[in-house]
Amino acid sequence: MAVRVNSKFDIRRLCSALNATALPRLTKPTAEECGHAEHVFTKEIGDTNVVVFHQAKAEGSIATIVLRGSTENIMDNVEYAIDDGVNTYKCMSCKDAHYMAGAGATEMEIALQLGDIADRSPGLEQYALRKFAQSFEVVARSLAENVGMKATDVISELYAAHQKGDKHAGLVIGGGSAKVDDAVKNKILDLYLVKFWGIRFATTAATTVLRVDKIIMAKPAGGPKPKENPDWDG
């Protein structure tokens, strides 16, 4: 059986799934270079004929997930959900498995701590620190607006809870209701790496914009405008 694959990326994926080695030349492969599959067959999926390499055991390192849906929007949402889940698992198993309180609890605690630093800072720096602290309210504010709650009231409740020492207080949504509660007890957690890099990239983008000391104005191209002559065709 011969299968024609035009993409180098697909060839690498196929070799990884079969534990095979891609050969640049048409030579006789060795036993170590040959891959293995339990079943190879063609199947029609969505009016498209595909070749399926099936492994009866979990021997390969790659699997294919086939998604089906009635609309493209549903397919996109499912694809994003799967992609987020796979990336989360990769971070948990391969990089850093530390967690932080979700539901906006971590951001509100950071905002509270930055606000305290701003109150103790003299000069104009306190205004920048206070605005930077307010920017962390966007997570809890977005959660409140998505469930139809008043964002200002939710932010006030969260600040009050964090000032009392409840560092894990966040906007917990579930069961048809939303309330300010302990995010850790409700098992709402976020990965540390996601928080770290998200805050770092956002801070870098903001400071880059603030460092720009020149404004480049866009001007229309071309030469001078023609003189206005209302009787040009007279």
List pLDDT tens digits, range 85-104.
Answer: 888 787 777 777 788 888 88
AA letter at 130: R
> Distance between CA 181 and CA 83 in Å, rounded?
29
Given its phi and psi angles, is residue 85 left (phi above 0), alpha (psi -120 to 50 degrees) or beta? Answer: alpha
Asked whether residue 117 carries a pLDDT value surpassing 60, the answer given is: yes
pLDDT category of residue 213 using cuts at 50, 70 and 90: low
User: CB within 8 A of 126, min separation 6: which ones?
Assistant: 118, 119
Answer whether 183's CB lies under 8 Å from 102's CB: yes
* Residue 49, H or E segment: strand 48-54
User: Given 3-state DSSP classes, what are the helix, strand and coil percentages for the chain, each rounded to the nearest 5?
Assistant: 45, 15, 40
Residue 233 pLDDT: 61
